[in-house]
Amino acid sequence: MRGRVYEDRRGCNSHAGCARIANPQITMPLKEHFDAVTGLQIGGTESYQGKTISDWFRSKEPTFKHSVPRISQSELDFYKYCDAQFDAFINFDLPLASKITRECEKSAVVMEKYVPFLNVPKILLRQSCEYLCATYTTQQCCGEYSLFAIRSKASDNLLYLLALLNSKLLTFYSRESGIIISAPRKQAQIRKSGVDSIPIRRINSPTP
């Protein structure tokens, strides 16, 4: 139940439990070994050369020269360990994105930051969720703004990270420490800084 003091089998309260989870001798912040990025930002109400911003970059079919599958964020399609489901295609045209952002006052298309994540194995993590919910894919694909993408900086095991992110322990920690931000009658949110700070247990930790 939310709002109560949690206790583990050794009788400690939630603050002591969180301190143990984030012990730097046992864990490290996610950002030390993994890169995370917010999804593509495609926004604006203006028209550009007679078409809406959405029509320039989104399509149900791969009709664009630079078409990349977009991961569905529907709760029916996206859940822990799901196979990636695609519901549309994104026009991953960086010059066009820059041009529209530069020439339109009320529109912005931000996708260049996603380039290093496009063609590599990655974890996708929901941004708006009351618990940590992640899946993994090796396919070329992208997510829009409410999905974080996480990749390994070196040879660190993404499947190990995936299991930790989907664990009840890290959801508990994220709620108690404020990584998952929640308020009455509002959708729970996770910020990029929160993802970077999630404590990941060191595989060679001396503590059992």
Residue partners of 55: CB distance under 8 A and separation at least 6: none
Q: pLDDT value at position 30? A: 96
Please give the pLDDT value at position 13. 55
Separation in Å, CA 56 to CA 59, 92, 104, 109: 8, 10, 13, 10
pLDDT given for residue 7 in this prediction: 36
pTM of the model: 0.87
pLDDT at 32: 93
pLDDT value of residue 23: 84
Distance of CA 50 to the CA centre of its chain: 33
End-to-end CA distance of the chain: 28
Which DSSP symbol is given to 198? -
H or E stretch including 171? Answer: helix 168-177
Q: Which residues of the chain fall below pLDDT 50?
A: 1-12, 205
